[in-house]
Amino acid sequence: MSQSAARTTASAAPLASAAPLASAASVTAWSVLATLSLCHMINDVMQSLLSAIYPLLQDEFALTYAQIGLMTFAFQVTASILQPLIGMVTDKRPMPRSLAVGMLATFAGVALLSRAPGYSWLLVGAMLIGIGSSVFHPESSRVARIASGGRFGTAQSLFQLGGNFGQALGPLLAAFLVVPLGRPVIGWVALFALAGAATLWRVGTWAEGRRRAAKVLHAPAPTLPRGRVVGAIAVLALLVMTKNFYTASLSSYYTFFLIEKFGISTQMSQVMLFLFLGGMAAGVMLGGIIGDRVGPLTVIWVSILGVLPLTLLLPHVGLVPTAILSVLIGLILASAFPAIVVYAQELVPGRTGMIAGLFFGFAFGMGGVAAAFLGQVADARGIEFVYLVCSFLPVLGLTTILLPREASLKA
């Protein structure tokens, strides 16, 4: 064989071996996405129990709104600090089997909440849940993108749907299990996390073999100047901050708002919180599916600004309209997040874990800051004043006009 023929054969070999990888990576792995979504649901059920049992903890430990806000701060800021760092590390060295480790940390935190003898131990349990989130979210978002087969918005939505559905289930578990049976029952609920950890170990094994296919398909260079990219990321961060300040006001204090304004029972307030979180779950799924058809930027525009009239109405209506508005607000507002993550990943290709960690972490962090700040405001001015102020937050969505058009990301 001549040297030129040998070179031709050698150069053709990598292309031949890459072709099956590229073909495999172009197929959507629905079973993997469904499994990730289920495990995300388990993870976020555990997390949502924290805020759902706040009224119970307030009665048992005589907590102030500020102490409740600090617990949310301990959970969410722990996650926000670690998630981008873990995402950066796993971009260079993917560790999909670490998903199981994150779920085990969440299990430990929830188990501690069920037996904590005092407030300081409640804070430790909240921090362990935050650590579990910081490990789970960046790597699971990467695995979802690998399994997407190019349907990035749909995959991100399906992954996030499990999380939002888990957040919606938390208040129901609190209302119909924890409130009647007491705080120790949380320890039994936490056992689902052990099953989730075993499942995630198998998903991690699959992802270890599949990730090279995604690397073949998705290794483009950024198409915008660095300064433009940084500016766009800053705008997206502001939008996430706006969304999470408002959702934190509902997730952490909505039950207190309903009890104070309408005089309903704790159980009924948990059902109302479920309606809001259920609306968010539906919005997350719709946001990604629609984003794959019309583009994530369009979804961001409609979500951030379309919710403004509804948030302005919420503090001024009766109980039934409040329930309806809370569902619509959750649906419209939540549709932005999968679109924001997909849009940011297109801004910075090849940094899937860092972007996922940054935005999931920033969302947790802003939620924690908001919960602590709004707790102080609620103690000083009352819970209804909090909702009056927060109703104007979606106005900041006008900054979406500063984002680059999607065509410029694909030039």
Tens-place pLDDT, residues 170-192: 777 777 887 787 788 888 888 88
Per residue in 240-282, pLDDT tens? 877 777 877 776 777 888 888 888 887 788 788 878 877 887 8
pLDDT of residue 330: 85
CB burial of residue 51 (10 Å; 0-12, 13-18, 19+): buried
Whether 231 shows a pLDDT value over 80: the answer reads: yes
Q: Bin 410: left if φ > 0, else alpha if -120 < ψ < 50, else beta.
A: alpha
- Percent above pLDDT 70 for the chain: 86
CB atoms under 10 Å from CB of 26, counted, come to: 14
Per residue in 111-163, pLDDT tens? 888 888 888 899 999 899 888 888 888 888 888 888 877 788 888 888 888 87
Distance CA 378, CA 387 (A): 10
Question: How confident is the model over 195-222, as a mean pLDDT?
Answer: 71
Whether 233 shows a pLDDT value over 80: the answer reads: yes
CA proximity to 80, closest of 369, 289, 337: 369
Span of 25-29, 99-103, 107-111, 309-313 with lowest mean pLDDT: 25-29
CATH classification number, 29-409, choose in 1.20.1250.20, 3.30.110.30, 3.30.70.3450, 3.40.50.300: 1.20.1250.20
pLDDT of residue 408: 58
pLDDT of residue 4: 47
| Mean model confidence pLDDT for the chain | 78
Distance CA 38, CA 196 (A): 8
Whether 381 shows a pLDDT value over 50: the answer reads: yes
Classify 361 as helix, strand or coil: helix
Whether 21 shows a pLDDT value over 70: the answer reads: no
Supply the Cα-derived Rg of the chain in whole angstroms: 22
